[in-house]
Amino acid sequence: MHNSLPRFLALACLGLGLALTSVPAPVHAAEECGGDAGERCYDAERLFDPDADPQARAEAFAAARRAADGGDARAQYYVGTLYRLGMDHPAAQVESDPAKARLYLANAAVHGQVPAMAGMAELHLAAGEPLDGMVWTQAFAHYERVDAELREYPASERQPYAASLVARSFAALAATGPVDENHVGGLFAGFIADRDASIRAGILEEVARGPLGMEFRSKPTVQLRMTRPLELRMGQPGAALYIVGVDREGRIAKALTVDSLPDTDFARGLRRALMRVRFDPDPDAEPLRWAGLPLQFDDQTVSLRRDESP
């Protein structure tokens, strides 16, 4: 059965130059509510704002964790990410706890939070578990495209971070002995068979959850050139997700880090380019319009191709 599924291969690329790709994500409100229960509301802005009042930040984390424990997938992704990155996360909400990170990120991933799959892959690779890491890596590469299709966003043909993750996962797996591609393919096929419906339903739920009552017409720059110092700092493809507050002129007035993959160097390294992104102006909008903005750093060393052959 697994032979009919796409396999993703990392390919070396000879292109020179650096690029940052960005695709708009659903709008986030400052207060998010998972489901109908009021106790499952949490303040995403204060959750990730390192400059917010400490008591307000603690309350925001407690509320997000209640929402996550109540089954809200986005809250599970947020909380799991904070546990994955620990005090290295700019929000510095909690100490790193890989066990708790796995619990929340795995639940988020199988309910449509695609970046949580990458977080799971990074956790397994860091723990010296390359086979599990490879399965989550394949899942991320696959559902990154599915997510873009269901949201009707332009998909990246290169998928630079996914390609780098595939290459690192394969190298880690090969270091343990010969790689049985049929076995890996079978595990991935089993994952798809068990989880595909839930993941797609979760992605569609995120699409429906969308703007939360706020109109947001976003046209960020698709490709930004990077400077040599940033290339040296990051050293490989990576990704970051921010919550951004956009003013009436379309400029980013506030940027909060949600996630950084594979580590926090990428959220820091991409921030200067992030602040150059511009959105549609709207003189009648609220002082700040909130949106999620994912960025990927592409050093043009690897890319993905789909292998549909049996």
What pLDDT does 37 receive? 44
Q: Measured between alpha carbons, how far is 21 from 224 in angstroms, rounded to an integer?
A: 7
Q: Is residue 116 part of a domain?
A: yes
Q: Is residue 221 part of a domain?
A: no
DSSP string, the chain: -GGGS-EEEEEE----S-EEEE-------SEEE-SS-GGGEEEHHHHH-TTS-HHHHHHHHHHHHHHHHTT-HHHHHHHHHHHHHGGGSTT--S---HHHHHHHHHHHHTTT-HHHHHHHHHHHHHTT-HHHHHHHHHHHHHHHHHHHHHHTPPPPSS-HHHHHHHHHHHHHHHTTS---HHHHHHHHHHHHHHHHHHHHHHHHHHHHHTTTT--------SEEE--HHHHHHH-S-EEEEEEEEE-TTSBEEEEEEEEEESSTHHHHHHHHHHTT-B----TTS-S-EEEEEEEEEE-SSEEEEEE---
Residue scoring higher pLDDT (70 or 29):
70
Give the count of domains, the chain: 1
Mean pLDDT across 164-175: 96
Q: Is residue 289 part of a domain?
A: no
Residue scoring higher pLDDT (19 or 11):
11
Q: Is residue 141 part of a domain?
A: yes
- 209-262 pLDDT, tens digit per residue, is 764 323 333 444 444 444 554 545 667 889 999 999 999 999 999 999 999 999
Structural domain that includes position 82: 2-17+37-212
Q: Measured between alpha carbons, how far is 225 from 245 in angstroms, rounded to an integer?
A: 23
Q: Is residue 276 part of a domain?
A: no
Q: Is residue 12 part of a domain?
A: yes
What pLDDT does 156 receive? 65
> Nearest-5° angle of CA 63, CA 32, CA 264?
75
Q: Is the pLDDT of residue 284 over 80?
A: yes
Q: Measured between alpha carbons, how far is 282 from 251 in angstroms, rounded to an integer?
A: 11
Residue among 138, 186, 132 nearest 10 (CA): 138
Q: Is residue 303 part of a domain?
A: no
Model pTM? 0.84
What pLDDT does 289 receive? 86
Find how far residue 129's CA is from the centre of its chain.
21
State both tokens at 67.
Answer: 């929402």
Q: Is residue 25 part of a domain?
A: no
Mean pLDDT across 59-88: 96
